[in-house]
Structure 1
Amino acid sequence: MAQKYTSPSAAKTTKPAESMQPVQFIFDKSNYTLLAAAVVVVALGFVLMSGNTDIYSTTKIVIAPIVVLAGFGLGFYSILKKPQTKA
């Protein structure tokens, strides 16, 4: 089967300016801010968990995992949060 050749200029379609709509992003600025905060909280939790002295300290076995889980929870919330609609 032969394919029909079309020139590149014929393939271009121009749309009038009034029919173009602004791009709607999935996430809002607040979503990205919360996601960045979640990354910082998770990193802080891993820093609290690191080190090689006193592996049975309360900070390493209780507080740090709670901080990491809180960071993951904040990340999930930032993804699921609906952006505000402009009225």
Structure 2
Amino acid sequence: MSQKNVALKKVNWIICGIAVIIIIAGFILMAIGPSTTAEAGFQPDIFSARRIKVAPVICVIGFVLMVVGILYPSKTKKDQQAED
């Protein structure tokens, strides 16, 4: 497969990979810690600032970075020739 037929360049894939890692980190921050079960009773830690505020903001940053990674313009030969 020729490099000309690929929609995303290497820089786009790197940005998208970083975004996926950030999104996964946000979901992990939401998931770790005690949870409320019938046997354990109510755990007030489910309302901590880490789970309610920090982790969702990190996930949103990751999703925005994913959009940036997809839409990030790549320089083509035509763009480079126009600059010269």
Task: Please confirm whether the aligned pair reaches a TM-score higher than 0.5, indicating the same fold.
Answer: yes
More helix by share: 2
Q: Which residue of 2 aligns with 1:64?
A: 55
CA shift, 1:23, in A, is: 4.0
Gaps of at least 5 residues in structure 2 are 35-44
Q: Which residue of 2 aligns with 1:37?
A: 18
Task: Write the letter of the residue equivalent to 2:30.
Answer: M
Normalization by structure 2: what TM-score? 0.72
Measure the CA separation in 1 of the matches of 2:27 and 2:8. Answer: 27
Gaps of at least 5 residues in structure 1 are 1-21
The higher-RCO structure (CA 8 Å, 6+ apart) is: 2
Q: Which residue of 2 aligns with 1:82?
A: 73
**Runs of 4+ residues over 4 Å off in structure 1:** none
Measure the CA separation in 1 of the matches of 2:58 and 2:70. Answer: 19
SS of aligned partner of 2:47: coil
SS of aligned partner of 1:79: helix
Q: Which residue of 1 aligns with 2:40?
A: none
SS of aligned partner of 2:46: coil
Measure the CA separation in 1 of the matches of 2:57 and 2:74. Answer: 28
Measure the CA separation in 1 of the matches of 2:3 and 2:54. Answer: 42
CA shift, 1:85, in A, is: 2.1
Larger Rg: 1
Normalization by structure 1: what TM-score? 0.69
